[in-house]
Structure 1
Amino acid sequence: MKRFFPVYVRVPLIFFTCYGLLEYFIDSGDKPAMIAYPSVMLLLGLILLVIIALEIVASASNNIINQLMTPEERAQKEALDNTPISQLPFVKNLLQKLTKTHGLENEKEIELEHDYDGIKELDNDLPPWWVYLFYATVIFGVIYIGKYHLFGGDNQIQELEKDMMIAQKEIEEYKKTAPDLLTADKVVLLTDAGDISAGKAIFDANCVACHRADGGGGIGPNLTDEYWILGGDVKEIFNTIMEGGRDGKGMVAWKQQIKPSDIQKVASYILSLQGKNPADGKAPEGDKVAASAGAAPVKNDSLVAPQASAPDA
C-alpha cells in the first residue's frame, strides 16, 4: 500500500481529508471553519502532529524490522518492492477477471481455422468490463424510456422551470417577512412604543449633529414643524434617509450604515416629533405639508417663509 501512497502523499491526503470533514460538519457560515473557530485550527494542528508522529514511529518500526530480517528475507522483500505494479498478484488477478485475456502460450487453443495470407484470427471473448457496461446501458435505456416516454417524466428543461418557480415563490415569501428588504412603497408608520424608542436611539446616535436632539434643526432643517423639503410622508422621509437629499447640498445617503427596517423606525420617530416646535427651533424650510395617513397630526400653525437653500430633511 505504501507503494501507491508514499509519505509525501499520505500525510497531505489524511490531513486535508480531516479538514474537509471538519468543514462539512461544522457550520461556520461564509467563513472557513478554521477562521470562524480558532479551536478548529488548533485541532487541525494537533491532527497534523499526530499524523507526523505516526509516520515517524512507522518508519522507525520498519527500520527495526529490516534489521531483524535475514538476508534472504530482506532480498525477497526488496524484490517484491521492485516488482512492477501490473505484475503484483492481486493486480494480475483483477485484470484477468476484467479482461479474460489469454497468454501467448495458450493462443493455439483459441485460434480459428480462418487463415488470411498467414494471418490467423483468435476467438477472444468480449472483455467482461465491456459486457457489464453494455448491460448497464441497456438497463439505463429501459428505465429512461419508461420514465420519460411512457410515464411522462419531466425533462431537464421542465425540471429547471419548476425549480425556478419554487425558488421564486420562496423568494417572494421571504421578502414578505424580511425587514432588511424593506422598500419605500412597503413602509408604514410605526406607532409601537418600542419601535419609536428604537428609532430615537438611532436618531440620537446619527442625526443630532445636524438636527439637534429635540429635532429643532441646526445644519439640517427643523423636523418638528410642518414644512418639508423632500416630502413629509413616512414613505418620503424613509426614502430621503435611504437615498440622501439633493445632490451637492443635501443629507448623505444612510442606506449603507443603517438597515431599512431601522430607517423605518427613524422615520416614524421623526414624525412623532411633529408639533413639538422647540422655542429656539430653526425657521421652517421647504413646502408646507398637510397631515396625512403617513404622518402624525401637525399641531403647529405658524407660517414662516421657507428657505430653500438649507440641507434636506
Structure 2
Amino acid sequence: MKKYFQSLAYISFIAITFFAIVKAIMSYENPFSLYENPLVWIALVALILVVLLKELVNIVAQQKAEELQLEKDGIKPEEVDHWAWAKDLITKWTQAKAIEEEGEIELDHNYDGIKELDNNLPPWWLYMFYATMIFGVLYLVKYHVFNGDNQIVEYEKSVAIAKRELAAFKSTSKEAIIDMETVTILTDESDLNRGKAVFNLNCAACHLKDGGGGIGPNLTDKYWILGGGIKNVFKTISKGGRDGKGMVAWGKTLKPKDIQKVSSYVLSLQGTTPAKAKAPQGDLYEEE
C-alpha cells in the first residue's frame, strides 16, 4: 500500500510540474529568461532532480535484490564481475586476442627475439575508414561533378537572404528603422531639446555648447568637412570623422533615435552667432 501511494505521488508530481512548465512556456514571452521567469527554471531543475532521484532509488533497489538472489543461489556478490559486459564490448570492437591465444596469430619470423603478431585492424577503425571513403566519394560527386555551391556562393546566398529578410522587416515593422538612408530632419521642440541634451553631454567638449567650435570645427557656418545635411551629419556622428584626426564613431554608444535628434539639433545651429566662432573648415555645402 505504501509503494502504491509513493508511485501515485511521483506520477502526480511529474504530471503537474510538466503541465505547469508547458503552460508557462506557452504564456510567457521569454519563458527561459532566468531573470524574468526564475520559477520556470526552478520547476525544470526540480523535475529533473526528482526523476534522477527516482531512477537512483530504483537502481539501488535492483542491486539489493540481485545481491539477495545471489546469496540464495550460494554465489558471493564479490565474486561477480560487474564489468563483464564492458570487457565483452571492448573485445568485440578491438578483436584482440587473449594472451593465451596469441600463439594462433604469431608470425614465423622475429627480430632479436621480438616476435610479431598478425592482429586484425580494430573494427571501429575500419568502420571509420570506410566512412571517410564514402564521404570522399560523395564530396567529389557533389562539388566536382555536379558543381555544388562553394563557400563563396553559400556566403553570397546567405547575404541575399539576410537582405530580403531585413527589407521585409523594415516594410512590416511598426517602428521605423533609422539609418543613413532613411533618416529625416526633426523640427519638433521636444526632439530638439533631447538632441541638445545629448549634444551638451557628448559633443560640447569639442564643439562648445554654442557650436562655435573648439577642438572640433564650427557647426554654425555653411562649411562642412564631411558634408552637411541630415544624412551626412547622421553618417559622420554614427561612423566617426576622418581616420586618425576626426571624432570617434558614436554609433556604438548612442541609439539611432538619439543620433537623429542630435543631428537635427546640430543643423538647427546653422546661422546662429556663437561667442567665439572658429574659422570655417571644409567646403561650402549647398542643400540639394
After TM superposition, the score normalised by the length of structure 2 is 0.48
After TM superposition, the score normalised by the length of structure 1 is 0.45
